[in-house]
Amino acid sequence: MKSILVLTVALFSSSFAFAASDALAKETIKVTAKDVDTVLDKTIDNVKGIFNRYKVALDSGSKIVSPLQVGGTQSNPTLKVSIQKCVLFVCQTVDMNAEVSVRSTSGRCEKNYAMTIDLTRSSQTLTDVYDQLNVSICFNKTSSGGQAELTASAHQAPNYSSGMVQKEIYNLLKLQVSPIIKALQETLRANGAQ
């Protein structure tokens, strides 16, 4: 009986050990290049170049309070921006202070990368809901270059709870996926893609 109780407690506590993620988007982009390996290497070696081209997306109830600042190194850029989000008559400022990293991973494609956007230094409004954004990049070569499949998700923070705040933060983060992909495509072109 004692071993069943220990097993039950272990299973119950392990179910809370790994937080879930909320899917943001799944996109496929084509990369046309003669030397696709060089284009990818240049892009991954200078992640900051992607975010120098990134433009923050807003909905009708949001405005930028403090503009986007991109700092840090080429391989580990930092992002800072403050956005005021208003719902009905209540407005709240969300301060994003993030650090971006990209690493090569194993996976089902010829080249696999994991981009992590660490949000833990952001304002409590954001960090109570999500502590990081994850983008997995799965790349396969084709005769004209290659194709990348990007899957973006928001990792739930330990204090995560669904509700109005979570929904608004989720929607704001989801809006950012398209401009990040656009910035990635522009960077790939700047590095030799067509």
Alpha-carbon gap, residue 16 to 33, rounded angstroms: 45
Q: Where do the domains of the chain lie?
A: 21-190
- Which pLDDT belongs to residue 149? 96
Span 57-112, pLDDT tens digits = 999 999 999 999 999 999 999 999 999 998 888 899 999 999 999 999 999 999 99
Topology, domain 21-190: Alpha-D-Glucose-1,6-Bisphosphate; Chain A, domain 4 (3.30.530)
What's the rounded mean pLDDT across residues 157-165?
91
pTM of the model: 0.86
- Which pLDDT belongs to residue 19? 61
Q: Nearest 5°: phi and psi at 24?
A: -105, -45
- Which pLDDT belongs to residue 107? 93
What's the rounded mean pLDDT across residues 179-193?
96
Residues facing 147 on adjacent strands: 30, 140
Q: Give the rounded percent of residues in the chain with a pLDDT score beyond 70.
A: 90
* Residue 58: DSSP 8-state: -
Span 22-69, pLDDT tens digits = 999 999 999 999 999 999 999 999 999 999 999 999 999 999 999 999
**Structure tokens, 191:** 């590095």
Give yes or no for a contact between 61 and 85, defined as CB atoms under 8 angstroms apart: yes
